[in-house]
Chain A
């Protein structure tokens, strides 16, 4: 009986783990789509993981100290020639969070 209970707990955590991984991958795919398509970040930035080779803004594979918070801030408010995707309502806050998470977890890979 104890063994069965133990196996059920293991199975439960396994399913949760798979669900999380699927959710993470779905978020990353959505992030990639925003990066390459919706926001066209790839037009100006290089990032190998996205196959992007833009050369106007910094190569994201070389940027030091990227955090989700700092990328959200940058994408929301823009800088120089980079549009303010949040202020100008080009992306929704949710899309900004997704693409920022994607960038932080893909840059340098």
Chain B
């Protein structure tokens, strides 16, 4: 064993301590034959990673320490998703308090404007103040329904949340800088969370370009649901691009530039492209605007059997970049549909609406589904097949089977 240990240490990389290899060998040496040595990662046996130990474990499905989904029935019974229930999907490690330093001293540079400037968070707070509700949804929410084997977390419905953001409107920031350069086509936001990793920024920096017009409704947020933006959600400052998929809401924001071209980093050019299965490339559409979508949150197979009689079928519906106009519910797998009522407050076109439908159900099994429309587009029945399992809004996969007794 010592001979092998020595061999392994000959090419030791700088980032690994020699003890790592020794520990690895010790573990390996005791390994039993491969055929009966399988890791068992059953849900419920694991806790939460330290950086989000404050979250509600019972509300969450742990795909990995960096991919954590909200249970279908836990996205917010009263419209807004509580922070402790909001999903986690981070491309880079969450920055620590030490790396962030004094939050009010956090800097963001604004470029591609008449008068480029760098603002501290304290200075941003003097430029303007607003609160907005918007949906945060991972591009791959619904990936778990795709039948081809898609890499990445197998999200079903819970890589989505509706939250209140508080911060400064991007319009106010732009005005303070004299306006956007006329030649600009995109608003390009860059995070700095790759910096502590020392990785090549071209491969690791989360820099996302969206059409310039998005800035008119965008904001730089420092609060989430009334508390300082948690580090795990991009604190102390995050770009919010309402109506656009989560990846464009860049965390740990360090720069916003109005640019003529899209960013050339990997996360813009290669990743998050909606391409046919078996194909890839920057010629395919980027994960930008979210499509109209809805899903039932109660009752579901998670909430157990349902008693016969009156049943309140509730869920959430979103219009993407347009206001959601209507939702229909089916209790017979889509053969017939009836209109559901919107309930609760309307928090604007970028928030989701809750809906409720009262059904009278006898004992038996039912497939219940919801179908939303934003006036110009409605949910399709089937998913749009694509290589990476993005942008799923088909109603059929999102339906649930319930048992009424």
A interface, CB within 8 angstroms of B = 20-21, 24-25, 27-29, 32-33, 35-37, 40, 42-43, 48-59, 62-66, 69-70, 73-74, 77, 79-81, 101, 104-109
Question: Chain B residues near A35 (CB, 8 Å)?
Answer: 24
Question: Chain B residues near A20 (CB, 8 Å)?
Answer: 33
Question: Chain B residues near A25 (CB, 8 Å)?
Answer: 28-29, 31
- Complex partner residue of A109 from B21, B39, B149, B152, CB under 8 angstroms: B39
- Say whether A51 contacts B21, CB under 8 Å: yes
Question: Chain B residues near A79 (CB, 8 Å)?
Answer: 151-152
Q: Let me know if B19 is at the binding interface, CB within 8 A.
A: yes
Complexed CA–CA distance, A24 and B37 (Å): 11
- The A interface is mostly helix, strand or loop, or mixed, namely helix
Residues 237-272 of B contacting A (Cβ, < 8 Å):
266-267, 271
Q: Which residue of B lies closest to A105 (CB)?
A: B37
- B321-340 near A? 1/0 per residue, CB < 8 Å: 00000000000000000000
Supposing A51-B22, A55-B93, A62-B41 touch, asked if A24 and B31 sit within 8 A by C-beta, the answer is: yes
- B17-32 near A? 1/0 per residue, CB < 8 Å: 1011111110111010
Complexed CA–CA distance, A109 and B28 (Å): 10
- The B interface is mostly helix, strand or loop, or mixed, namely loop
- Say whether B49 contacts A62, CB under 8 Å: yes
Complexed CA–CA distance, A65 and B49 (Å): 18
Cβ distance A63 to chain B, nearest Cβ, rounded Å: 4
Complexed CA–CA distance, A101 and B17 (Å): 24
- Say whether A80 contacts B34, CB under 8 Å: no
Q: How large is the interface on B (under 10, 10 to 19, 20 to 34, 35 or more residues)?
A: 35 or more
- Complex partner residue of A51 from B19, B37, B93, CB under 8 angstroms: B19
Q: Let me know if B203 is at the binding interface, CB within 8 A.
A: yes
Cβ distance B365 to chain A, nearest Cβ, rounded Å: 27
Q: Which residue of B lies closest to A20 (CB)?
A: B33
Question: Chain B residues near A104 (CB, 8 Å)?
Answer: 38-39
Residues 1-31 of B contacting A (Cβ, < 8 Å):
4, 7-8, 11-13, 15-17, 19-25, 27-29, 31
- Say whether A48 contacts B27, CB under 8 Å: yes
Question: Chain A residues near B149 (CB, 8 Å)?
Answer: 69-70, 73
Complexed CA–CA distance, A80 and B151 (Å): 11
- Complex partner residue of B21 from A36, A66, A80, CB under 8 angstroms: A36
Chosen A-B contacts, 25 in total, with CB atoms closer than 8 Å, are A24-B33, A27-B34, A28-B31, A32-B25, A36-B20, A37-B8, A37-B11, A43-B13, A48-B23, A48-B27, A49-B23, A49-B28, A50-B27, A51-B20, A51-B27, A57-B66, A59-B49, A59-B65, A63-B63, A64-B64, A66-B39, A73-B151, A79-B151, A81-B199, A107-B41
- Say whether B20 contacts A42, CB under 8 Å: yes
- Say whether A81 contacts B204, CB under 8 Å: yes
- Say whether A58 contacts B67, CB under 8 Å: yes
| Apart from A28-B31, A49-B27, A65-B154: 15 A-B pairs, beta carbons within 8 A | A28-B34, A33-B8, A36-B8, A51-B22, A51-B23, A51-B24, A51-B27, A52-B20, A55-B93, A59-B64, A62-B46, A79-B152, A106-B27, A108-B40, A108-B41
- Say whether B31 contacts A77, CB under 8 Å: no
- B291-304 near A? 1/0 per residue, CB < 8 Å: 00000000000000
Complexed CA–CA distance, A43 and B93 (Å): 13
Question: Chain A residues near B20 (CB, 8 Å)?
Answer: 36, 42, 50-53
- Say whether A37 contacts B41, CB under 8 Å: no
